Structure 1
Amino acid sequence: MKRLLYTTAALIVLAACNNKPKDPKAQLADLKKQQAEINAKIAALEQKTGVGQDSSRITDVSVVEVAPTNFTNYIELQGHIDAQDNVTAYPQAPGTITAIYVKAGQHVSRGQILVQLDNSTLRQQIAQAEAQLSLAQTVYQRQKNLWDQKIGSEVQFLQAKTNYEAGQKQVAALREQAAMYTIKAPISGSVDQMDLKLGQVAQPGQTGIRIVNADNLKVKADVPESYAGRVNQGDNVKVVVPDASDSLTAKLSFVAKVIDPGSRSFGIEIRLPGGKTLRPNMTAVIKIADYSKSNAIAVPVNAIQKSEQGSYVFVADNGTAKRKTVTLGATYGGRTEIKSGLAAGDKLITAGASELEDGDKVKVAQ
């Protein structure tokens, strides 16, 4: 009996010890842990269902007002400046150079003698032929005077006339041969290159002087075959010459009809006005206008976003972001034409749109 009483008392003491309150710090830690787990579960469910999200979040954005404008799309190509008149003058007969009358950079006129080759043998032949021609002329004139007076025979008169005319032709032929021993300017322009020296033997087609008319320039370029249906003679073009810090507007003066089988391209040319800053072989950027529209809606490219459903933009409407699906046109110069989906007066969001969802609250930066 006494043992039973001791056992019961021990159990009562043990129960009292188990019911002793926990330390407050431990209890607080347990509660915070439970709170964090509950908050995480709530956030996951809100993200999944879209219910209970914080609607007070406001995103700062920048907007531009959509307005009609002129939009032009250009095809950009690289070409080079060339001279319309860029030729090399050669002698027509081989010979030793005896005189040089011009130097590099000098302006020359068409037909001007630039270089003289040795033609001493021909000059002697010309002198001899001219002496014979003078005699033939005297004989012919006397025979003509006699024939006019009905003195002498007709045969004598005709023979004298024939000798005189033959002498004239002989002298003319010799003078033409002598002219072949010169280098003449085929065009008016500036001597661009000349490396000839006295005593040098000049050969036809090998030794010459390059002459360029820098007042009559053109731009040449090759256009890929894919643009064949979009580039036509008379199209407006912009020509930019980076090295000369110059630009101008012109028209296509020539468009080739044949596609080069090797490069799969066709040539174009644009005539340029003369200018002191432009030189042959300078690089030129050609911008050909292949599409133009007035009163078009064009927006910055960075305002357009894409999804599996298509392209879209955001507009600000009374402090709320609204998503609008758009149909895109051509893109040039960092702007894209919007064919449908936007209207004049819309407040297009250009900065901050990447973080938006339809219906988000926005604040327009001032």
Structure 2
Amino acid sequence: MKLSYKFLILPLAMLVVACGSNDELANKKADLEKKRKEVTALNSAIEELEKEIAKLDPDFGKTLRKSVLITTIRPTKEEFKHFIEVTGAVLSKKNVSISGEVAGRIQEVKAIEGMRVNKGDVLAIIDSESIVRNMEELEKQLELATVVFEKQERLWNQEIGTEIQFLEAKNRKESLEKSLAGLKTQLNRSQVRAPFKGTVETVNVRLGELVQPGTPMFQFVGESDLFIEADISERYVGIVGKGDSVEIAFPSINQTLKTKVSAVGAIINPNNRTFKVEVFLPRMDNVKPNMISVVKINDYESAGAITVPNYLVLQDSKGDYVFVVENEVAKKRYITRGMTYKEITEIKEGLNGTEVLVDKGFREVGDNFSVNITQ
């Protein structure tokens, strides 16, 4: 029995020690929380006193500010160019609708949409059987009229017969020749041909369809005399003009070129408040009608302009400003900005180009803040 009591005393002792440790830990945590609250209250009191003293003594306020870690940058003096960027489309002055010139039924359609053809290639054939038959009949009549005319001419030269007989035979022959020539022209026109080298955009007829003169059959676009057309906002009226420098980019083929504005529209579109601009396009083998392009028109440039990155220009109720560094102190410098293009802003007034500007950390500083410059 004595052995059993010894084994019971040991767990009871451990339990008492554990309870004592928990109480001590809880007391320490409570004490820590109490002191933290005291520190917070003390810091608040110190801050309030500093503010009150700073109002009475501005120099005292400057000494309390901690230096802000920043990097710096200098303004750039360079040639600044501004561009208007719009989307344009490649068009052709040879964009025509090809129509039938004779009546008849479509006998064959050789062209398909997207086909590239040369000048004179046959696009479609209109049935010409009736024309051929009329030609055969006229040829026989002309053969007889020619024989009659030749005989009347010989008689007339021998002063036999009347002048009327001679003239009638001559007129008959010439009339038949003209009629036959007209039928040959119709026969030739029964074959619809490409007027120039280009691409068949749309096919509007089908095999066996009956067409009349003037019936639209094909929409045809030539591959020469290409130009780019773009819509420009009306606020650029008077700014964009004929002869202005233009940079053209074709994203699909990753090519660029420089050219000029060849024409400026005189009418504002009431639907989107834009006017048309036509840009001359030199001949390029891999540029096709309807291809999308990016048109960049140079509407402003300045040599030796002072420029800064856009993000450095801030604004308050007085206007635009940047932070400059003077004697390790950030100063607010008000500026007059000019044009902005591709994250670069031209500075018209306020900077001479020799200043040191706050770069990284510009949002953490304020006027008369002490700064610590790092690389």
TM range, smaller chain: 0.7 to 0.9
Deviations 1:27-56 (A, max 9, x none): xx8997995565233222245453423357
Q: Larger deviation: 192-201 or 226-235?
A: 192-201
Long gaps (5+) in structure 2: 1-30
Equivalent in 19, 39, 51 of residue 44 of structure 1: 51
* Cα distance in structure 2, aligned partners of 1:294 and 1:56: 41
AA of the residue aligned to 1:57:
K
Q: Which residue of 2 aligns with 1:357?
A: 366
One-letter amino acid of the structure 2 residue matched with residue 83 of structure 1: S
Is contact 1:257-1:266 (8 Å) kept?
yes
Deviation at 1:173, TM superposition (A): 2.4
Give yes or no for contact 1:300–1:350 (8 Å, CA) kept in 2: no
SS, match of residue 363 in structure 2: helix
Give the drift of 1:99. Answer: 2.8
Q: Distance in 2 between matches of 1:242 and 1:315?
A: 41
User: TM-score under structure 1 normalisation?
Assistant: 0.80
Q: Which position in structure 2 is the counterpart of 1:235?
A: 244
- Distance (whole Å) between structure 1 residues aligned to residue 198 and residue 40 of structure 2: 93
Q: 1:297 to 1:34 in 2, by over 3 A?
A: closer
Q: Which residue of the partner structure matches residue 67 of structure 2?
A: 58
Q: Deviations over 1:225-264 (max 9, x none)?
A: 2221212111122223333333322211121112234443
1:143 and 1:160 in contact (8 A); partners too:
yes
| Identical-residue share of aligned pairs (%) | 31
Match of 1:144 in 2: 153
Encode CA deviations 1:272-299: one digit per residue, 9 max, x unaligned: 2344553333333322222111111121
Q: Which amino acid aligns with 1:41?
A: E
SS at match of 1:355: coil
Change in Cα spacing, 1:365 to 1:151, as seen in structure 2 (3 Å) is farther
Within 1, Cα distance between the matches of 2:251 and 2:101?
A: 41
SS across alignment from 1:354: coil
Deviations 1:311-364 (A, max 9, x none): 111223453333322111111111111111111332222322222233333333
Given the alignment, which residue of 251, 260, 269 partners 2:269? Answer: 260
Partner of 1:178: 187
Matched letter for residue 60 of structure 2: G
Partner of 1:332: 341
Stretch of structure 1 that moved more, 184-193 or 296-305: 184-193
For 2:228, the equivalent position in structure 1 comes to 219
Q: Is 30-39 or 227-236 further displaced after alignment? A: 30-39
Q: Which amino acid aligns with 2:357?
A: L
Distance 2:177 2:224 in 1: 42
Say if 1:215 and 1:273, in contact at 8 Å, map to a contact too: no
2:148 alignment partner AA: V
Whether 2:125 is the aligned partner of 1:116: answer yes
User: In the superposition, relative to structure 1, how do residues 145 and 108 fare at CA in structure 2: closer, same or farther (>3 Å)?
Assistant: farther
Alignment-derived partner of residue 91 in structure 1: 100
* Structure 1 residue 85, shift from structure 2 partner: 2.0
| Separation in structure 2 between the aligned mates of residue 247 and residue 39 of structure 1, nearest angstrom | 65
C-alpha offsets along residues 179-208 of structure 1, whole Å, 9 cap, x if unaligned? 443322233213344375433334555552
Q: Which of 61, 82, 90 in structure 1 is aligned with 2:91? A: 82
Cα distance change on mapping 1:215 and 1:58 into 2, 3 Å = farther
Cα distance between partner residues in 2 of 1:203 and 1:144 = 43
1:197-212 equivalences under 5 Å are 197-202=206-211, 208-212=217-221
For the 8 Å contact 2:97–2:216, the answer to whether it is kept is no
Preserved CA contact (<8 Å) 2:251 2:293: yes
2:65 and 2:369 in contact (8 A); partners too: no
Gaps in structure 1 of 5+ consecutive residues: 1-24
Give the direction of change, closer, same or farther, for the CA distance of 1:182–1:346 in structure 2 (3 Å limit).
same
* CA distance, structure 2, for counterparts of residue 153 and residue 51 of structure 1: 133
Equivalent position SS for 1:239: strand
Which residue matches 2:13? none
**Contact 1:237-1:250 within 8 A present in 2 as well:** yes
More divergent stretch after superposition (229-238 vs 93-102): 93-102
Change (3 A) 1:276 1:132: same
Q: Hey, what's the Cα distance between the residues in 2 that align with 1:33 and 1:266?
A: 66
Using structure 2 for the length normalisation, give the TM-score.
0.79
